[in-house]
Chain A
Amino acid sequence: MIVPAPRYWQYPLDLSKTARNWTQDPTGAQRRLNNSADALRALADKINHLASRQGRVIFAQGWREGLEDQRGAAPLAAVVFGDWVGNAKRRTATLLCLPRIVAATESSTAVLESCHGEGTANFPATLATTPGPRWPEDLFICSIRQLRDAATGNWLEDTLTTLDGFTIVDVSIQEDALSTLDTDIDEMARPADASAGAEVLVGALGDCRAAFHGFRRDNLGVEICWSACGTDEGWANETVPVSTITVPMQAPLGAGGDQRGMWITSATLVNLLDTSVVARSATSPGISCLAYRAGIGAEYLDVGASVPLAVDVLGYSVGCGPATVRFQGPDHVANNYVDVLVPVGTAPARCHGTTNLLLNANATDADETTARNKVDIFGRVTGAGDDLFIYELHGERCWAAVA
């Protein structure tokens, strides 16, 4: 068992005193030096800090509209993420909720379900008086904790479902930090290999190198997530008769869609967040994905200047041919977009991009040009009268090829 050392957590690691090639002694002679054991131990500590404390937020969503009723939404949201991070053994879903008036026979329960098991949160109290819950004075927090064994090494799709009584205003699902690292099962470096007085040999760095490379390959952030709000009968579309819909549906999707789904009917590309926008610009609606110096390799080379982002869509189209969802990124490289084809069908299907979008490792956080790290998402159908329904959007950094 290793407790990640607190030193070096908060500052950049500076080994200038413990790892250097040359020094000048009091007589002025140049003497060759090497690494001290302390340098290696400090490196291992820093790596273990990264291994245990850099949990990802794998999903986050707020619902500003439709707060009045989320009863029995199945699912309320679809949660997609890459399950690669070995040390992410626990996840916590934090729900920001408003209470609801429920009948005596009803419960107030939210369920987070995945292939790793099911977690639930219950809110036992009900608000029995009128007026109903007041925002924001009645807000409360509840959590769902989920444990897992080894990482599956796949893209996972979890669902968040509500039973009778929650109104969820906001949710975030985050991988928990670890306070200790288990030497038998966790991914870690071993600072004990570099104890004082020990020989500082190449083999000791090999473990650190392998451990760090593993985290750097797997612990990559989720940049884009959006989920429609499901109904008691699953995902909505414009063809569902209003009479069969209970909550939270009140009417079919409006033009352009609403919180129950995006709905595109244009045969030319339109921005999903504002269908009057037809091209990417520096200020067009899009998701900012900071990637400054997050690449791999020399940043003055094309390969080092780009950070790959895998994208996918949950949706389906109705009409004469597959619809297209286009993710368009910064213009530091030509034609930097990925077209995801959404097939004709009667139920949502998960559709992955066949290539990766490229973020710009040279664009600073404050860049406001068209090279800024912003991803615009467009959609179009094949022909007039066709429909495209989108229920979930997801983008996540990836190591190389998409799954």
Chain B
Amino acid sequence: MMAAILTRQYRPVAARLTEEADAPLSVHAVRELCDATNNAKAYAMAHKMRGVICFPKWVMASVATEERVQFIFAPIKVPDGYKVVRWHIGHERSSGTGSDAIVLRIRSVGRLYVGPDAYDGTYCGPGSTTYSSLVVNSDLHSISTGALSIPYSDDTVYLMITAQAVQSGTKARLTTLDFTPRLS
């Protein structure tokens, strides 16, 4: 029995298994190649969809405690089948003391957001709007990671980042942003 395997990384099918053109094809050779294609779709060829080196550092701030739109990304075509985006964001708090915090939200919306600076969900278009969030409450460098659901199947993905200070005046600085699609 051969189940679908994703996590067995690429091991090229031995040439000897495909050399004699008129010999019966072995189950072993088919299994090897099937494993490799599954792995390629899940990991090896799931290319990074966005990587941003935020140099100079990007400062994220909100007015009072409103949620403000901070950055909007150019749309990206995500290949068929990927349902989530694994994100990594490097950050530090640049303004605030004690336990002051600012919440950053990575949002996947239905179309290009062309609304007011203060985030308004009615400008996000039809379809599902999802978000994933992180809290910046330390002056030290840190890298947070999480998963964001995206529209299913072959589609254009619109990502944006918003910030909302829990305590007025709190700001965060970003150093890196990385988004990679995953099947689940």
Contact = CB atoms under 8 A, between A and B. Distances in A.
Q: Do A and B bind each other?
A: yes
Interface of A: 9-16, 19-21, 33-35, 39-40, 43, 46-47, 49-50, 53-57, 60-62, 64-65, 94-96, 135-141, 169-172, 174, 176-177, 200-206, 208-209, 212-213, 215-216, 219, 221-226, 256-259, 262, 272-274, 277, 282-290, 292-299, 304, 361, 365-366, 368, 374, 393
Contacts of B25: 34-35, 40, 200-202, 204-205
B128 interface: no
B112 A139 contact: yes
A64 B178 CA distance: 16
B17 interface: yes
B33 interface: yes
Interface stretch (B38-46, B129-137, B163-171): B38-46
Nearest to B53: A226
Contacts of A61: 52
Contact of B43 (A11, A53, A292): A292
A293 B7 contact: yes
Interface of B: 1-13, 17-27, 29-31, 33-34, 36-58, 69, 71-77, 79-81, 86, 88, 90, 112-117, 140-143, 145, 153-154, 175-176, 178, 180, 182-183
B42 A257 contact: no
B182 A283 contact: no
B76 A174 contact: yes
B116 A137 contact: yes
B37 A20 contact: no
Given A177-B77, A212-B36, A287-B178, A20 B21 contact: no
Given A212-B37, A292-B43, A137 B11 contact: no
6 contacts: A14-B3, A46-B37, A60-B51, A65-B56, A288-B145, A361-B9
A277 B44 contact: no
Contacts of A16: 1-4
